[in-house]
Amino acid sequence: MTSIRDNLDQIRSRIADACAISGRNPNHVRLVAVSKVKPAELIDEAFAAGQQLFGESYVQEFRDKETTVKSPVEWHFIGALQSNKVKYLCGKVTLIHSVDRLSLAQEINRQWGKINAVAPILLQVNVGDENSKAGCASAELPELTRKIAALPHLSIRGLMCLPPYADDPEQVRPYFRQLRELAAHIEVEQIPGVIMKELSMGMSGDFEVAIEEGATLVRVGTAIFGERD
């Protein structure tokens, strides 16, 4: 088995290659190490190998790790989120990737308001229009964006997607492109409080294609930490 350090080195060089191919600045692509299900020690190990940003998907697990991980890591929340659990993330995560409905945004606004802060968020879009998946429908995105942008303790920074699974990353490319085009479409509306700067897309199997299509945040788990049971 290869070490986390070797895996991170490999992924960083693959990110650099994908940026070179597409003429992008590698400083504009951040690696989110998805540590869900993996123990806190592995997060400390990845941190020791230079990885500072981690993504978690389950609130209870995040709460546990947030206290057990010793390194001063930065946390993003990337998973499905229930409104009644937002309070546990408040002030502890620097970005929530998975906001897909007004009621959730309102609760984030309420919680971050209590600490007089602004929560950076991404809007998750169900690009494949799959019944099984979270995310707002593409057609509803402009209206949802306008409503959420009006909340004072939130700042919309971009979009996130979790496209339909495919073995061949080329089959996912059209969904990544769709997310980029949706962001461009929202950008021209110049909605106050909305910056379409981030595109969170691409995972272990397809992050290079996502980078070619404009990803600024790639969420990689398995390729760093190994398979999850």
Beta strands in 50-201 (DSSP E): 53-56, 74-77, 95-99, 119-125, 154-161, 194-200
Residue 22 near residue 211, CB atoms below 8 Å:
yes
Q: Which residue is nearest to ligand PLP (CB)?
A: 221
Piece of 8-16, 114-122, 135-143, 218-226 that binds ligand PLP (CB under 6 A): 218-226
User: Minimum distance between the CB of residue 98 and ligand PLP, rounded to whole angstroms?
Assistant: 7
Residue 101 near residue 154, CB atoms below 8 Å:
no
Show the site string, 168-207: x = touches ligand PLP by CB under 6 A, - = not.
-----------------------------------xxx--
222: Cα separation from own chain's centroid? 15
Q: Tell me which H or E stretch contains 33.
A: strand 30-34
Count other Cβ atoms within 10 Å, centred on residue 4.
Answer: 21
Piece of 11-19, 177-185, 186-194, 215-223 that binds ligand PLP (CB under 6 A): 215-223
Determine, following the binding rule CB under 6 A, whether residue 222 of this chain makes contact with ligand PLP: yes
Show the site string, 62-101: x = touches ligand PLP by CB under 6 A, - = not.
----------------xx----------------------
Sign, CA dihedral 197-211-171-181, equals positive
The token duo for 176 is: 């990544």
Residue nearer to ligand PLP on the CB measure, 36 or 63 = 36
State which of residues 162, 172, 182, 217 lies at the interface with ligand PLP (CB under 6 A).
Answer: 162
The token duo for 123 is: 């809007």
Determine, following the binding rule CB under 6 A, whether residue 219 of this chain makes contact with ligand PLP: yes
State which of residues 12, 14, 36, 87 lies at the interface with ligand PLP (CB under 6 A).
Answer: 36
Give the SS3 label for residue 99: strand
User: Minimum distance between the CB of residue 212 and ligand PLP, rounded to whole angstroms?
Assistant: 17
- Nearest of 101, 107, 69 to residue 88 by alpha carbon: 107
Q: Which residues bind ligand PLP (CB under 6 A)?
A: 34, 36, 57, 78-79, 162, 203-205, 219-223
